[in-house]
Structure 1
Amino acid sequence: MRPRRLLHSVLALCALAAFAGFVALGNWQVERRAWKLDLIERVEARVSAPAVAAPGTEDWPAVTRERDEYRHVRLQGRFLPDLDTRVASASELGTGYWILSPLQQQDGSLVLVNRGFVAQGQQAAPVPPGAVEVTGLLRITEPGGGVLRDNEPEEDRWFSRDVAAIAAKRGLSGAAPYFVDAAADTAGSPGGNGPVGGLTVIRFHNSHLVYAITWYGLALMVVGATVLVIREGRRKGQRR
């Protein structure tokens, strides 16, 4: 009987550990869901808020994705001509390119502005001359490359909006660590054949509730399996 009791004790400990682990994972997903919902609410508040001045050079080191991305900002300065960068991507208009153009502010600092999207085979309108005001959403740099391909700076082929790499390729110094997605009606985004601004997609993957239910369900299955094993053991004991 001792080996059987020892086996039952080991199985009980394993079941207890599995139950505790699944419950902990479920609780973690519940916490993640609360964090994600709070993030979505904060981002929606930023997008709908009135435009504020984009972070200046003294604030650049403190710019973070969680605190600043999708903030509604305003820039003033002059576009530098003939320095557009085409970044391969897709939008609701199909496949094509984002057009990133450097805007020089009054203090000499530079911010890359995503003026909008042009379809494959189309040319972007040139940057407007003179002083302009740009409004749009602050975006954090995308280093390295896209989902499927890495950037190829030496070939001037881009699949993500890597601010530092693009600035280095264009010989630009003093560029902000972020870029700005221009609004549809902002200077430099004329619409029509392009570039078309205001196409920023704000979407957050939020399946934490499904994951939590899955983990809690597994915990209940462990309880059910344990009860069945105990009952079966008792029945065998009574037969003996």
Structure 2
Amino acid sequence: MRTFLAILLGLVGCALLLSLGVWQVKRMAWKQEILTQIETRIGERPQAVPQSPDPARDRYLPVEVSGTLGARELHVLVSTRELGAGYRIIAPLLGSDGRTLLADLGWTATASKDTPRPRGPVTITGNLHWPQEIDGFTPEPQIDDNIWFARDVPRMAAALGAEPVLVIARSFEGTDPGTVPLPVTTAGIPNDHLSYALTWFSLAAIWAGMTGLLLWRIHRRAI
């Protein structure tokens, strides 16, 4: 009876752990497909900004827009592995079509936060994005010091009198604002399902080993 229960427990435990590992392998393939679709869309031919962009339908849409950068800026605290600590510069882009959009001009060093930037005509090639960076731990922006801790598109649009549409610059033509573009990539979208799968498979192997050890001990006692 004890042998039967040990075998049953071992089989059920291994089956459960192996099923979780297989599920993570399937999730990994699903996530990779999504990442491939996003990368393909990011690299498509730029087009004009739609009249009524939709955050779900038009996320990552490649666009090209011309206009003049407004004088006001919002500064979002950021740190990158390559560039270090600094600020993303968010400015209103006064389009030649009469629309005012938000433009993410990229990174500038902390010491250059308040350095005046050129404001001549510019054509920005980039991607539409509505970053989901706000959670319960995100501090409120320090309005007086012009320091933001996340790209809150609706709130930033209200502050700058623009549409809640963010163009993240990939390149500039005409006036160079003197920033380093931080273009949209899939680098920030995690795909950790392989490590999760290996964890579950490892636990299944450990469970099988422990079951074998238990059966051996039961057999030894029965002798």
The equivalent position to 1:164 in structure 2, one of 148, 151, 154, is: 154
Aligned length: 218
Identity of aligned residues (%): 30
Match of 1:86, SS?
strand
Match of 1:135, SS?
strand
Query: C-alpha deviations, 1:65-106, integer Å up to 9, x for none?
Result: xx6443322223443x22211112124333221111112446
- Over the aligned positions, Cα root-mean-square deviation in angstroms equals 2.9
Q: 1:93 to 1:226 in 2, by over 3 A?
A: closer
Q: Indicate yes or no: 2:210 matched with 1:220.
A: no
Offset, 1:127: 2.4
What letter corresponds to residue 168 of structure 1 in structure 2? Answer: A
Give the equivalent residue in structure 1 for 2:215: 230
Q: Indicate yes or no: 2:166 matched with 1:182.
A: no
Give the equivalent residue in structure 2 for 1:126: 118
Q: 1:189 to 1:114 in 2, by over 3 A?
A: farther
Q: Indicate yes or no: 2:131 matched with 1:141.
A: yes
Q: Indicate yes or no: 2:31 matched with 1:36.
A: yes
If the length of structure 1 is used for normalisation, what is the TM-score?
A: 0.75
The 8 Å contact of residues 104 and 111 in structure 1, kept in 2 or not, is answered as yes
Q: Indicate yes or no: 2:99 matched with 1:115.
A: no
Q: Rg bigger for which structure? A: 1
Match of 1:56, SS?
coil
What letter corresponds to residue 210 of structure 1 in structure 2? Answer: S
What letter corresponds to residue 126 of structure 1 in structure 2? Answer: P
Q: Indicate yes or no: 2:179 matched with 1:195.
A: yes
Structure possessing the higher relative contact order (Cα contacts under 8 Å, 6 or more residues apart): 2
If the length of structure 2 is used for normalisation, what is the TM-score?
A: 0.80
Please give the alpha-carbon distance, in whole angstroms, between the structure 2 residues aligned to 1:96 and 1:108. Answer: 31
Match of 2:172, SS?
coil
Q: 1:11 to 1:108 in 2, by over 3 A?
A: farther
